[in-house]
């Protein structure tokens, strides 16, 4: 359908009105894949809006693949040439992306022409075009004959790499990766490496940043020998660059660099040539640098082995664990598993603990959230005794955090811990503490008890659930806050599948039925929902229930059924109704609830 | 396993949750994020400007220029210039204080000397001067501390070496402005590469530096005729990159200010190159997100062009209408402001060409729910010249805006807007009472027709609803019948009770 309109669009029409809106057209035309659409695509390839142009070029590249070699030369190559010699820079930038697709299948004469065009665009007057050419240089080099790479691409690369604009020079670094893969070691050393070395010391930090950012690719492309001779010194200077951006980019690559070094003699190189620089970064003035390093430094331990790790790395880990910036500490803690494999976490535990405690009480809740997520991992590595002694109280404190997301994460954390340490541990250490909170004066904490029970009941099994948890839940059905009551209903629905018939029939059902008569609409709704679920469960348990009162389908009350209620929906009931937070405990809703609570507590 | 480490300080374990259920008040972090961000100590990183010179020589104060005989003056001058080419680390504010002071004093003296003493600028000192300036000002600008730097909201990052840099710029400026200055000599040193590096400095976050650069580039443009075309071309490249590639360049306003005065001096008829600059660079510049930072200068440039060549008006106005902001009301107000500036200088013959699309857009702005947009659009009617243009062309303009104005006068939430519209309608009435009455009548007729249509539509729906209910009863009655019929969903819940 769209195709019918596409080809008829006059070439001149593109660029007429609101270039952004042409983007979808460029996408659509792509689906036609017919040489008929070349003219409109050609004119789209000349508009200023970069997204449109790029998409048009992408489409043209696909079309080129559909051409036979003859048709390619008859229809496509002329188009590329037209674009390459266009007046306005836009068409010339577009042309840069098209050379590499028509080159491999062109005749020798045409090939020479294409190379000529590319050469002239590489020294174009407009920096925009030179940038486009530089970014396509690597791709173009790959389709060229090796001789041409040496005689033509390398000089172009050399020129672009010493362009007057740093935005061009940094793109040449990218091209360097592709070109290096094509050349022999000798040629590399003679032709490419001097330029790469120069780029690593460029006066513009953007170029140096690019070298740091592409370091692993470069390392792989030039091979181990050149890496040792040339790249390591370059890397060292990047690690102590005067711009933090560059240091951070280089720090990110430390692990990959070390991993990719030849295994033979690797340890010595790392210890003698890399570690001294890393040591300085640990006390860098910039937190981004430190945090970049912290995110990879632990990975070195597997490469260096136990003794080196203890001797060289451990002091660095410990220093970073005490860093003033929480992100640095978090990055270390989140990668503990690497170290655990090599030297065991005990080596660190003494320093770990203060770091964890501090993060656990950080003023920013996102930091607290992050550390909670590592708790199960830490618990597994530190063992149950250590955990009980030092970390248990932290985990319980999170349950009464004033941010809902933290309480929620703490609840999930408990479940994972129980899965790790078993039900007996849960019964002795966790469950009693959770249940005590049921008597808390703050209704949010009472609800946390319910949420914990929801999470823990399955992991704890039937016995603990029935004997310890259920009575508390049932007792809370009489709570004065409606939110607690309807959460009781929800909890009962949730733990229903774990309970046996007696408990369901004898204890749960009467309570739910009572809640089903509650004066509060939400409580009623959730109670009824729970009743139907419990009834189903009972039926499954093969119990004949012929109670008249049985499933009261919520649909009986049409309004209740059809309209999902949010906070503040029934405005007639005064401010208390805002507490009626609905089913999904989204953050936003809970925050409203907390706000209300906050206001109440101030009263 | 035995730990080798010294025991760390014992952690302060938080009290058990059962005992202290209420979180301590000091843990509440509330909404302090913004203030935290502000209070954050400035990230100290070394500037790219100062990359350590290994052989840092000690600077010793030289005799004063005014104290030496004229024969030794130039020799001393070039020694002073060499002294000023030594760079200092300003991030370490206590490092080499003596050296910094020597250089500062020397710079001050140079500024003084080049500004007041005649006969100092002889040919041999030019290379020394340009070298000293280049060494000091040309540097790669450091990465912005704040990647989302918003020139309207955030404090700019000030150049730490400003105490010296300012004097160098001042010296450069006085050098260019000196009556002894000879462009024919200087052009050997102030070449294209020099200008390109100068232009790159306009990205500096420090407004003081950009201010100096602006004046300097303007002088360079004035004195070096051979560089003019090159400067304009490089400005184009900067703008195009800014519009289509980066959306980040701090010196756009300053460059536009210079270009404003350059445009002012264009010879007539305008060259194609200049027209292309207007159409392909200045107009698209309106689409940039941070328009507010440089809008005043941009509008000035546009108006300058129109004052030069009125035939460009249609192109410009259609261009502005093409880039008219769809969602950003702040930008819309700016566009309206610029449009009024353009209308202030428009020729009646040009006005006729664009009146219809233009006033349709104005009408859309009047009906904007954002009262500032509506207000700004309505202010057009306070402008005597625009009013006279409207009056001359009321048979086209009035029909284009009347419907909207009339409707908005009844519906707009803001009382000021409503009263402004009443005034506008009143002027229309006075302008051409007959046309006004006709438009009112046709508007009312149109409304009536619309109402009628709406009523008909509603009746149709009502009829359908009744039909549905009747069928529903029919199906319920036939429920026990032998043939199963497709029952509407609503019936199912009715059957339950």
pLDDT tens digits, A85-100: 888 899 999 999 999 9
- 3-state SS string over A437-463? HHHCCCHHHHHHHHHHHHHHHHHHCHH
Please report which confidence band the pLDDT of residue B476 belongs to, taking 50, 70 and 90 as the band edges.
Answer: low
CA distance A299 to chain B (A): 22
Angle between helix axes B207-223 and B252-264 (nearest 10 degrees) is 30
Decide if pLDDT at B277 tops 60: yes
Does the beta-carbon distance from B23 to A127 stay under 8 Å? no
Question: What are the chain B neighbours of A318 within 8 Å (beta carbons)?
Answer: 5
Token duo for residue A368: 């607290």
Helical segments of A298-436, H only: 300-308, 314-321, 326-334, 336-343, 346-360, 365-382, 384-386, 392-398, 404-421, 423-425, 431-436
Question: What are the chain B neighbours of A243 within 8 Å (beta carbons)?
Answer: 45-46, 48, 142-143
Identify the pLDDT of residue A310. 81
Q: B287 to chain A: nearest residue by CA?
A: A18
Does the beta-carbon distance from A127 to B241 stay under 8 Å? yes
Question: What are the chain A neighbours of B15 within 8 Å (beta carbons)?
Answer: 393, 397
Of A226, A369, A450, A5, nearest to B29 (Cα)?
A369
Identify the pLDDT of residue B147. 67
CB A25: neighbour CB atoms within 10 A? 21
Does the beta-carbon distance from A243 to B21 stay under 8 Å? no
Percentage, residues of chain B above pLDDT 70: 83
Q: Which of A10-14, A138-142, A452-456, B436-440 has the lowest mean pLDDT?
A: A10-14
- Cα–Cα distance for residue pair A206/B295, rounded to 1 Å: 29
A261 or A28, which is more confident? A261
Question: What are the chain A neighbours of B16 within 8 Å (beta carbons)?
Answer: 393, 396, 433
Cα dihedral A578, A584, A587, A589, rounded to 10, equals: -10
Decide if pLDDT at B54 tops 60: no
CB contact burial A437-471 (16+ within 10 A = b; e otherwise): bbebebbbbbbbbbbbbbbbbbbbeeebbbebbbe
Identify the pLDDT of residue A563. 39
How many helices and strands, by DSSP H and E, does chain B display?
22, 0
Decide if pLDDT at A228 tops 70: yes
Q: Chain B neighbours among A 532-551 (CB < 8 Å)?
A: none
Does the beta-carbon distance from B17 to A350 stay under 8 Å? no
Please report which confidence band the pLDDT of residue A575 belongs to, taking 50, 70 and 90 as the band edges.
Answer: very low
Decide if pLDDT at B487 tops 60: no
CA A325 to centroid of chain Cα atoms: 21
* Chain B interface test: which of A241, A242, A291, A351 (most B C-beta within 10 Å): A242
Does the beta-carbon distance from B17 to A437 stay under 8 Å? yes
Question: What are the chain A neighbours of B240 within 8 Å (beta carbons)?
Answer: 48, 89, 128
B497 or A346, which is more confident? A346
Question: What are the chain B neighbours of A204 within 8 Å (beta carbons)?
Answer: 48, 140
Q: Which of B22, B28, B244 sits opposite A50 (nearest CB)?
A: B244
Identify the pLDDT of residue A576. 39
> CB neighbours of A518 closer than 8 A, spacing ≥ 6?
A482, A485, A524, A527
A488 within 8 A of A479, measured Cβ to Cβ: yes
Does the beta-carbon distance from A361 to B140 stay under 8 Å? no
Question: What are the chain B neighbours of A349 within 8 Å (beta carbons)?
Answer: 3
* Chain B interface test: which of A402, A407, A602 (most B C-beta within 10 Å): A402
Question: What are the chain A neighbours of B193 within 8 Å (beta carbons)?
Answer: 164
pLDDT tens digits, A15-38: 444 566 677 667 665 555 555 677
Of B137, B257, B258, nearest to B194 (Cα)?
B137
Distances (CA, A) of B97 to B103, B104, B105, B164, B166: 10, 10, 12, 12, 18
Of A61, A66, A67, nearest to A83 (Cα)?
A61
Identify the pLDDT of residue B263. 92
Identify the pLDDT of residue A20. 66
Decide if pLDDT at B155 tops 70: yes
Decide if pLDDT at A547 tops 70: no
pLDDT tens digits, A357-377: 888 888 888 888 888 888 888
- Segment A344-348 mean pLDDT: 69
Q: Which of B3, B29, B497 sits opposite A350 (nearest CB)?
A: B3
Please report which confidence band the pLDDT of residue B361 belongs to, taking 50, 70 and 90 as the band edges.
Answer: very high
What would you report as the CA-atom Rg of chain B, rounded to the nearest whole angstrom?
A: 35
Identify the pLDDT of residue A35. 53
Give the H or E element holding residue A50: helix A50-66
Decide if pLDDT at B17 tops 70: no
Of B380, B372, B358, B282, nearest to B328 (Cα)?
B372
Of A89, A98, A168, A173, nearest to A131 (Cα)?
A168
Decide if pLDDT at A2 tops 70: no
Using a CB–CB cutoff of 8 Å, tell me whether A260 touches chain B.
no
Using a CB–CB cutoff of 8 Å, tell me whether A602 touches chain B.
no
B138 or B39, which is more confident? B138
Q: Chain B neighbours among A 204-223 (CB < 8 Å)?
A: 204-206
Cα dihedral B216, B217, B218, B219, rounded to 10, equals: 50
Q: For all residues of chain B together, what is the average pLDDT?
A: 81
Using a CB–CB cutoff of 8 Å, tell me whether A242 touches chain B.
yes
Identify the pLDDT of residue A584. 42
- Segment A98-126 mean pLDDT: 89
Predicted TM-score (pTM) of the model is 0.71
> CB neighbours of B231 closer than 8 A, spacing ≥ 6?
B195, B199, B217, B220, B221
B477 or B359, which is more confident? B359
CA distance A17 to chain B (A): 6
Residue B228's φ and ψ, nearest 5 degrees, are: -60, -50
Token duo for residue A572: 């007639």
pLDDT tens digits, A155-164: 899 999 988 8
Identify the pLDDT of residue A30. 58
- 3-state SS string over B342-403? HHHHCCHHHHHHHHHHHHHHHHHHHCCCCHHHHHHHHHHHHCHHHHHHHHHCHHHHHHHHHH
Decide if pLDDT at A552 tops 60: no
> CB neighbours of B319 closer than 8 A, spacing ≥ 6?
B279, B283, B286
- Segment A226-239 mean pLDDT: 87
Residue B151's φ and ψ, nearest 5 degrees, are: -60, -20
Of A524, A506, A503, nearest to A515 (Cα)?
A524
Q: Which of A493-502, B145-154, B209-218, B313-322 has the lowest mean pLDDT?
A: B145-154
Burial of A338 (0-12, 13-18, 19+ CB in 10 A): middle
Q: What is the DSSP string of B19-83?
A: T--SPPGGG--TT-HHHHHHHSPPPP---TT----SS-PPP-PPPPGGGS-HHHHHHHHHHHHHH
Decide if pLDDT at B386 tops 60: yes
Token duo for residue B80: 């002073």
Decide if pLDDT at B272 tops 50: yes
Of A287, A291, A282, nearest to A313 (Cα)?
A282
Q: What is the DSSP string of A136-154?
A: HHHHHHHHS-HHHIIIIIH
Q: Chain B neighbours among A 348-377 (CB < 8 Å)?
A: 349-351, 353-354, 357, 361, 363-365
CA distance B218 to chain A (A): 22
Identify the pLDDT of residue A8. 38
Q: Is B141 helix (H, G, I), strand (E, B) or coil?
A: coil
Of A10, A140, A15, A167, nearest to A90 (Cα)?
A15
């Amino acid at each position: 359908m769209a195709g019918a309109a596409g080809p008829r669009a006059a070439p001149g029409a593109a660029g007429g009105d609101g270039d952004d809106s042409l983007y979808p057209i460029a996408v659509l035309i792509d689906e036609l894949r017919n040489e008929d659409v070349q003219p409109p695509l050609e004119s789209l390839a000349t508009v200023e809006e970069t997204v449109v142009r790029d998409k048009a070029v992408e489409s043209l590249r696909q079309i080129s693949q559909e051409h036979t070699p003859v048709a390619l030369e008859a229809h496509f190559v002329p188009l590329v040439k037209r674009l390459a010699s266009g007046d306005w820079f836009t068409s010339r930038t577009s042309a840069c992306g098209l050379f590499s697709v028509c080159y491999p299948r062109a005749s020798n004469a045409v090939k020479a022409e294409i190379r000529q065009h590319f050469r002239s665009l590489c020294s174009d007057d407009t920096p925009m075009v030179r940038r486009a050419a530089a970014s396509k240089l690597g791709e173009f080099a790959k389709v060229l004959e090796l001789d041409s790479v040496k005689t033509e691409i390398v000089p172009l690369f050399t020129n672009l790499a010493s362009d007057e604009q740093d935005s061009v020079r940094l793109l040449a670094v990218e091209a360097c990766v592709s070109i290096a893969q094509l050349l022999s070691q000798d040629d590399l050393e003679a032709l490419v490496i001097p330029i790469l070395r120069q780029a690593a010391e460029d006066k513009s930090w953007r170029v140096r940043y690019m070298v740091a950012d592409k370091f692993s690719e470069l390392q792989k492309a030039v091979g181990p020998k050149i890496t040792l001779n040339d790249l390591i010194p370059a890397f060292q200077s990047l690690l102590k660059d005067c711009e933090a951006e560059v240091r951070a980019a280089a720090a990110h690559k430390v692990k990959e660099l070390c991993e990719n070094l030849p295994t033979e003699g690797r340890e010595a190189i790392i210890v003698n040539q890399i570690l001294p620089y890393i040591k300085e970064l640990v006390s860098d003035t910039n937190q981004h640098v430190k945090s970049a390093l912290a995110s990879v430094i632990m990975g070195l331990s597997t490469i260096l082995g136990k003794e080196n790790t203890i001797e060289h790395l451990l002091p660095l880990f410990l220093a970073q664990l005490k860093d003033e910036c929480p992100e640095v500490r978090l990055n270390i803690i989140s990668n503990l598993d690497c170290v655990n494999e090599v030297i065991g976490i005990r080596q660190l535990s003494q320093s770990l603990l203060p770091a964890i405690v501090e993060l656990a009480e950080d003023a920013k809740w996102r930091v607290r959230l992050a550390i909670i997520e590592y708790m199960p991992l830490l618990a597994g590595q530190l063992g149950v005794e250590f955990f009980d002694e030092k970390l248990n109280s932290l985990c319980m404190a999170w349950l009464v955090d004033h941010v809902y997301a933290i309480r929620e994460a703490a609840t999930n954390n408990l479940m994972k811990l129980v899965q790790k340490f078993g039900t007996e541990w849960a019964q002795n250490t966790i469950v009693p503490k959770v249940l005590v909170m049921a008597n808390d004066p703050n209704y949010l904490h009472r609800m946390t008890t319910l949420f914990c029970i929801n999470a823990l009941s399955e992991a704890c099994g039937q016995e603990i659930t029935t004997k310890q948890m259920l009575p508390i839940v049932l007792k809370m059905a009489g709570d004065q806050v409606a939110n607690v009551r309807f959460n009781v209903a929800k909890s009962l629905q949730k733990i229903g599948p774990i309970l046996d018939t007696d408990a369901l029939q004898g204890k749960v059902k009467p309570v739910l039925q009572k809640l089903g008569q509650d004066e509060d609409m939400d409580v009623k709704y959730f109670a009824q929902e729970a009743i139907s679920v419990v009834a189903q469960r009972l039926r499954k348990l093969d119990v004949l229930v012929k109670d008249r009162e049985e499933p009261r389908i919520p649909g009986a009350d049409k309004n209740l059924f059809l309209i999902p209620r949010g906070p503040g929906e029934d405005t007639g009931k005064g401010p208390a109704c805002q507490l009626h937070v609905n089913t999904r405990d989204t953050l936003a809703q809970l925050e409203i609830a907390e706000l209300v609570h906050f206001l109440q507590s101030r009263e | 396993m035995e730990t080798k480490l010294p025991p760390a300080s014992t952690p302060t374990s938080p009290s058990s949750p059962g005992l202290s259920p209420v979180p301590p008040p000091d843990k509440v972090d509330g909404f302090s994020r913004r203030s935290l961000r502000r209070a954050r100590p400035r990230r100290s990183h070394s500037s790219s400007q100062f990359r350590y010179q290994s052989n840092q020589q000690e600077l010793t104060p030289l005799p004063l220029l005014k104290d030496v005989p004229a024969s030794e003056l130039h020799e001393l001058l070039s020694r002073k210039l060499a002294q000023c080419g030594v760079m200092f680390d300003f991030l370490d504010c206590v490092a080499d204080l003596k050296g910094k002071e020597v250089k500062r004093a020397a710079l001050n003296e140079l500024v003084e000397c080049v500004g007041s003493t005649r006969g100092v600028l002889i040919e041999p000192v030019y290379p020394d001067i340009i070298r000293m300036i280049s060494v000091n000002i040309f540097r790669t600008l450091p990465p912005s501390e704040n990647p989302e730097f918003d020139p309207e909201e955030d404090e700019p990052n000030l150049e730490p070496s400003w105490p010296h840099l300012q004097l160098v710029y001042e010296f450069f400026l006085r050098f260019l402005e000196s009556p002894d200055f000879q462009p024919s000599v200087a052009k050997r040193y102030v070449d294209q590469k020099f200008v390109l590096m100068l232009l790159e400095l306009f990205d500096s976050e420090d407004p003081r530096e950009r201010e100096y650069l602006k004046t300097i580039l303007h002088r360079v443009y004035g004195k070096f005729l051979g560089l003019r075309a090159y400067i304009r071309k490089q400005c184009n490249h900067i703008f195009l990159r800014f519009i289509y590639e980066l959306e980040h360049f701090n010196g756009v306003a300053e460059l536009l200010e210079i270009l404003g005065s350059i445009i002012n001096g264009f010879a007539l008829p305008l060259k194609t190159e200049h027209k292309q600059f207007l159409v392909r660079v200045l107009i698209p510049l309106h689409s940039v997100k941070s328009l507010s930072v440089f809008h005043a200068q941009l509008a000035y440039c546009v108006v300058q062009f129109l004052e030069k060549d009125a035939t460009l008006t249609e192109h410009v106005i259609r261009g502005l209408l093409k880039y008219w902001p769809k969602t950003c009301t702040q930008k819309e107000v700016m566009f309206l402001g610029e449009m009024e500036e353009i209308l202030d200088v428009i020729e009646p013959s040009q006005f006729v060409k664009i009146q219809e699309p233009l006033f349709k857009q104005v009408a859309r702005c009047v009906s904007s729910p954002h009262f500032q947009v509506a207000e700004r659009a309505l202010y057009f009617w306070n402008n005597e010249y625009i009013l006279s243009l409207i009056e001359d062309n009321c048979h086209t303009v009035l029909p284009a805006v009347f419907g909207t104005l009339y409707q908005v006068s009844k519906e707009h939430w803001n009382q000021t807007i409503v009263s402004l519209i009443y005034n506008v309608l009143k002027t229309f009435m006075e302008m051409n009472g007959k046309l006004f009455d006709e438009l009112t009548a046709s508007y009312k007729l149109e409304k009536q027709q619309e109402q009628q249509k709406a009523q008909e539509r509603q009746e149709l729906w009502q009829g359908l609803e009744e039909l549905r209910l009747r069928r529903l009863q029919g199906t319920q009655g036939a429920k026990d019948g032998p043939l199963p019929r497709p029952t509407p969903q609503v019936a199912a819940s009715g059957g339950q009770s």
